[in-house]
Amino acid sequence: MSYPKIEFLFLSEEDMIRAGVKNMPGCIEAMEEVVKCLNSGDYVMGGENHNSHGSQVSFPKDSPFPNMPRDEGDDRRFMAMPAYIGGPFDLMGMKWYGSNMANKALGLPRSILTVMLNDKNTGEPLCLMSANLLSAYRTGAIPGVGAKYLAPKHARVCGICGPGVMGKSSLSAIVATCPGIREVKVKGRGKKSLEAFVEYVKKTYPHLERVEAVETVEELIRDTDIAAFTNSGGTDPSTYPFVKGEWIKPGALIIGVSCFDMDAEFMKAHTTLVVDNMQLYEAWAEEFPYPSFGANNIIGSKFTDMVHDGVITKDDIYDLGDIIYGKKPGRVSDDQIFIYSVGGMPVEDVAWGKVCYDRARVLGLGTKLTLWNKPDLY
């Protein structure tokens, strides 16, 4: 039997930019299709429950082996995130990355990411692509989908906690979805990063009337229509930014891309809780036994802890897909407060990767690499 030659495409970051990876409205449209696939069940991720975020490699704090990496603190890990996504994408793939805060001292981003797309039947590689921008834009686009369905009609003020890559991409999606935004507030820890973020926002969105750095969470939340938490955080919820209910503007949307905390009783009594994919949070509840919140720092894990504690029921947590499909009500009043949890899933990377890959092929971008002319062992 003769075996065919296999080639696959390599897309550099420059290729990805030319293929439209930074097209935020297009990414939001693709992520809405992903949410629909999630809601209908047309996807598979890792683990026995088919809903695992991914497989993480962490390192020991000490080791007798001198070359073994050590856990030196914040965010030292490798992560493999495989997934199949159906619908208009119909593709298998995996995001793979290493993360190390010490990278910054070397002039490198904290995480360096790639995505591999594969034929769903044969497994042959189709495309290996640079994925730092891909991951950043799909991360921001999921809040954009939430803003499309949950934001107040006349949102003018947006608050961002965390002036990093996720903050930039989330703001991009919110501005794309809510064109009435005219003011942006940002909170961070370092003066240099805050100043850089403010200058970036002023340059990127010259139509804004006001862009300012604030010092406290209260300043960030008060009089704000849409707030997104995109800050880094560890495993101790007592260190997370805390939002008091009395600060929240009636009708506001609060988006948890990363960690923040709120009072459980206030959330039960005065807010509508929404997640991007309920089954992901149930999988996290299995992976990180109660209390899950902290071990996983996304606010949706606090929702499942609240179910465990009997504060709410599972039915009190809305899946965004149910709102999109009309199975659950979305915004029913101008004063309704939404808390929207964004978990981040490899199906999103594969989906946006597929869109960029298709565009790259149309434009003739990338470098063809040969896996084999014929397999040597067969």
Predicted local distance difference test score (pLDDT) of residue 377 = 87
What pLDDT, in 10s, does the model give residues 83-114? 999 999 999 999 999 999 889 899 999 999 99
Residues 20 and 113 in one domain: yes
Q: Which domain holds residue 300?
A: 149-345
Task: For residue 14, give the H/E element and its range.
Answer: helix 13-18
Total count of domains within the chain: 2
Residues 157 and 90 in one domain: no
- The tokens of 336 are what? 């309704």
- The tokens of 128 are what? 């290996």
Q: Is residue 108 part of a domain?
A: yes
CA distance to 227, 228, 238, 362, per residue, from 243 (Å): 11, 12, 12, 47
* 2 has pLDDT over 80: no
pTM of the model: 0.95
Whether the ω angle into residue 375 lies within 30 degrees of 0, i.e. cis, is no
Residues 254 and 338 in one domain: yes
What pLDDT, in 10s, does the model give residues 192-250? 999 999 999 999 999 999 999 999 999 999 999 999 999 988 889 999 999 999 999 99
Share of the chain above pLDDT 70, in %: 99
What pLDDT, in 10s, does the model give residues 24-39? 999 999 999 999 999 9
Distance CA 170, CA 43 (A): 24
* 71 has pLDDT over 90: no
Predicted local distance difference test score (pLDDT) of residue 354 = 98
Tokens 């808390």: give the residue.
339
In CATH, what number is assigned to the domain containing residue 193? Answer: 3.40.50.720
Phi, psi of 77 (to 5 degrees): -165, 165
* 344 has pLDDT over 80: yes
Q: Is residue 266 part of a domain?
A: yes
Residues 268 and 338 in one domain: yes
* 310 has pLDDT over 70: yes
Predicted local distance difference test score (pLDDT) of residue 74 = 66
Predicted local distance difference test score (pLDDT) of residue 75 = 75
Predicted local distance difference test score (pLDDT) of residue 1 = 66
Distance CA 327, CA 208 (A): 36
Say how many C-beta atoms besides its own lie within 10 A of residue 343's C-beta.
23
Phi-psi region of 251 (alpha: psi -120 to 50; beta: other; left: phi over 0): left
Contact between 142 and 276 under an 8 Å Cβ cutoff? The reply is yes
Q: Is residue 142 part of a domain?
A: no
Predicted local distance difference test score (pLDDT) of residue 190 = 87
Q: Is residue 143 part of a domain?
A: no
